[in-house]
């Protein structure tokens, strides 16, 4: 549940960088996603064809504040997005470092507090830092979106221990891995760790076949979720035979 809304498909797809509007439309259909993210700047430059895709997709729109470097910029962009898309959902990005695109934790918490008080349902793009997570929850966020790795890097889950600790620290808060996922196996791992969703863009949009890759990611996320719910076996230091020794035939010399 994300802000009291049940989302069955836990893959969320970005809408930038696709080779054509037709490929974007086909990728959304192939993945059967229910939530797509859209930046206000992308919508403004996409033209009528892009807006038609958004409208016809049947997906819930999660606008984002991509490109904002201050809390003030992010808050202003969020208000514009709410007017344009008619939703209180907002993916909040406040970038603090130009090269890594790492979030600015101070600006992020400040913007989250303002937007939550103004009725927004905020999905904050953050790191796996537990203290920042606590501050965002205290500000009113009911979802957290820690990165797996820097945006667009395809490095996967660089800090598995940190993500696992975050899952344990926030057992009742929906957590979505956002950014850095480059392969379906990495998305599956995030779900096997107990995360509630995966948001990605570049790995699909820049694939040789974005439509096939979108389908692969959707299958991987479903498989990871099923595996987590089924109960993964714990890793062991030693081998353990699956066939018992008791009852085996004794061969006499």
The residues assigned a catalytic role are: 91
247 is in an annotated binding site: no
Spatial distance between the Cα atoms of 250 and 29, rounded to a whole number of angstroms: 60
Say how far apart CA 93 and CA 102 lie, in whole Å. Answer: 9
152 is in an annotated binding site: yes
Gap between the Cα atoms of 162 and 231, Å rounded: 21
154 annotated to bind ligand: no
Q: Is 140 a known ligand-binding residue?
A: no
136 alpha carbon, distance to own chain's centre: 17
Q: Under a CB-based contact definition with an 8 Å cutoff, are residues 77 and 96 in contact?
A: no
What CA–CA distance (Å, rounded) separates 68 from 98? 11
Is 179 among the annotated ligand-binding positions? yes
The length of the chain in residues reads 253
Binding residues for 1-deoxy-D-xylulose 5-phosphate: 152, 179-180, 201-202
């Amino acid at each position: 549940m994300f802000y009291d809304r049940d989302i069955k498909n836990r893959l969320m797809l970005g809408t930038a960088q696709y080779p054509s509007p037709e490929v974007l439309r086909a990728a959304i259909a192939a993945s059967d996603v229910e939530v797509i993210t859209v930046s206000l700047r992308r919508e403004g430059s996409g033209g009528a064809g892009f807006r038609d895709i958004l409208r016809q997709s049947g997906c819930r729109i999660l606008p984002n504040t991509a490109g904002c470097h201050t809390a003030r910029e992010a808050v202003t962009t969020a208000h514009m997005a709410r007017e344009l898309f008619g939703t209180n959902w907002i993916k909040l990005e406040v970038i603090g470092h130009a090269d890594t695109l790492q979030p600015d934790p101070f600006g992020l918490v400040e913007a989250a507090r303002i937007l939550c008080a103004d009725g927004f349902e905020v999905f904050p793009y953050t790191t796996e830092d537990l203290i920042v997570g606590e501050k965002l929850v205290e500000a009113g966020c009911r979802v957290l979106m820690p990165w797996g790795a820097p945006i667009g890097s395809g490095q996967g889950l660089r800090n598995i221990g940190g993500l696992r600790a975050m899952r344990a620290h926030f057992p009742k808060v929906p957590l979505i891995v956002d950014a850095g996922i480059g392969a379906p196996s990495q998305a599956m791992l995030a779900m096997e760790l107990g995360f509630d969703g995966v948001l990605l863009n570049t790995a699909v949009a820049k694939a040789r076949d974005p439509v096939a890759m979108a389908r692969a990611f959707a299958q991987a996320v479903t498989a990871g979720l099923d595996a987590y719910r089924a109960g993964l076996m714990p890793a062991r230091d030693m081998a353990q035979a699956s066939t018992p020794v008791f009852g085996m035939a004794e061969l006499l010399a």
